[in-house]
Amino acid sequence: MSLPDASIPDPVPYPLDHIAERGEPDSPAVVLKDRTLSHRELAERVALLAGWLATRLEEGDRVASWAAKGELTCLLPLAAARAGLVHVPINPLLKRAQVGHIMADSGATSLIATASRINSLEEGDIPNGCATVEEASAWQEAELAGVSQAPSDRDPQELAAILYTSGSTGKPKGVMLTHANMWLGAVSVAHYLGLEKDDVTLAVLPFSFDYGQSQLLSTWYAGGNVAPLDYLFPRDVPKACARFAVTTLAAVPPLWVQLVEADWPESAVASMRRVTNSGGALTVDLISALRSIFPETHIFPMYGLTEAFRSTFLDPNLVGANSTSMGKAIPFAEILVVNDEGALCKPGEEGELVHCGPLVAQGYWRDAERTAERFKPAPAASRYGGTAVWSGDRVKMDENGLLYFVGRRDAMIKSLGNRISPQEIESAALATGLVSEVVALGVADKKLGQAIHLVVRGNNKGLDELKKQLARELPNFMQPQVIHWRESMPLNPNGKIDRAALAKELEA
């Protein structure tokens, strides 16, 4: 499989719902549990759902969804956009307290969910004036109404979705995305991954997650087919890859750790063209394991943040020699490394990653204070200007323009006056080969300011050896004071290691 040129002509955004019209009419678009929709049927069902929504709600209303992967959760992002609504997808793994916060914060006027989820809510969880509709009833009402809405001619700068991010502290905050943000994100990803009409994407990530929605939108933009999967066990993923002849698989590092330990028969590997990663860095060992399972498959390490969708990817041809790199900017993104004075960093100089361009979101919903902290004027050197996302992530750029993650400004551990990157300690621990997953955290300490605690998943019989190897590889001030062995790591609803939960536990 050849890769496309990284450049694309100047972007022209369209209303998001036009993605439903891009595929060949009779080619498959989405594999549901009981049937497969063609691209013609996808367009027809989006039109039907949009028409029903438009009869129930006013333009600009927020419509929330809280259900497992299925026809509703696949099509609602496009149908809501066509009806002039703002979609608020809620992770199906969340519980009533988190759902109540999202409903209240977004001001949603309608919640479409499974009956069991609606029944789990208590008085006060649903805002006054918000209607709840069972998933099955929504389709029955839409089919009975029989009102189809044609593709829209909306301004691409209109708000189309609010995605709630878990964040490392505080309650989830809603990131505002326009039609243009989501359309151009789909175009960019489809382009640099080289997606084609005959591609089949296995959608294992939550659709409430920007990386998860990208599985749908970029595949449909390219005219391909999506197979949604709510898996119970890691072994379900290779089985689905074989069943649907999957060509594209996306995951986050904790899931990849589980997947490389699963059995991958040839039937699950033969059709695979590309695997992608975001939500954390792939380790050298993980890349090696992926190479052994998928020897002919392109590996795409990627970096992104919900506030700007996706920022960088590493060309698969460079993965072998630059396995720890975040790569370079994706199409339509301008990525700058800026020092504390606001000037561009020189090669090798650490600075903050700043994302400029049309993928930048519109800020946080009803949260001017946090918006002002993250969404600020672009650096003077930006060719786009306007508003940029100041990520808070510390990176370096080498002489070839490749970016390398150093750590988060707000995740830095400060011990005995030293600012220490958790990433550096974690990388050293993983490099020993004695642990599968690791998190380094700073815990309040009267003498040190913060003491370094290392939480690892692995064989606790290797504790002494791990200490010895870290003593060899890291300076004294970076040595963990305590190592906690775990049989499993807590995960947040997006499948990432829940660092906030670990930190809270250790501080208790």
Tell me the C-alpha distance between 499 and 278, whole Å: 16
Number of C-beta neighbours around residue 362 at 10 A: 18
Looking at residue 429, its amino acid is: A
- Percent of the chain surpassing pLDDT 70: 97
Q: List the single range of 254-263, 334-343, 407-416 with lowest mean pLDDT.
A: 407-416
Nearest to residue 91, comparing CAs of 117, 71, 109, 116?
A: 117
Q: Is the pLDDT confidence value at 168 over 50?
A: no
Q: Are 496 and 279 in contact (CB under 8 A)?
A: yes
Comparing C-alpha atoms, which of 274, 207, 263, 205 is closest to residue 235?
263
Name the least confident of 137-151, 161-175, 177-191, 254-268.
161-175
Domain boundaries, the chain: 14-205+216-229, 412-507
Burial 87-122 (b: 16+ CB within 10 A, else e): bbbbbbebeeebbbebbebbbbbbbbbbeebbeebe
Q: For the CA atoms of 396, 397, 402, 405, what is the dihedral angle to 10 degrees?
A: 10
Q: For residue 295, count other CB atoms closer than 10 A to its CB.
A: 8
Nearest to 332 by CA among 157, 160, 180, 156: 180
**Tokens at 372, concatenated:** 């002002």
Instruction: Mention every residue, 6+ apart, whose C-beta is less than 8 A from residue 296.
Output: none
Residues 221-245: pLDDT tens digits?
Answer: 999 999 999 998 999 999 999 999 9
Residue recorded with tokens 């400029």: 356
- CA 290 from centre of chain: 20
Q: In terms of pLDDT, which residue wins out, 95 or 248?
A: 248
**Domain topology for 412-507:** GMP Synthetase; Chain A, domain 3 (3.30.300)
Query: Kind of pairing, strands 131-134 and 110-113?
Result: parallel
pLDDT tens for each residue of 73-96: 999 999 999 999 999 999 998 888
Q: Hey, how many other C-beta atoms are within 10 angstroms of the C-beta on 449?
A: 14
Instruction: For residue 169, name the pLDDT band (cuts at 50, 70, 90).
Output: very low
- CATH class of residue range 14-205+216-229: alpha beta
pLDDT digits (tens, 9 = 90+) for 122-142: 888 998 899 999 999 999 999
Cβ contacts of residue 259 below 8 Å, gap of 6+? 234, 237, 238, 251
d(CA 320, CA 299): 10
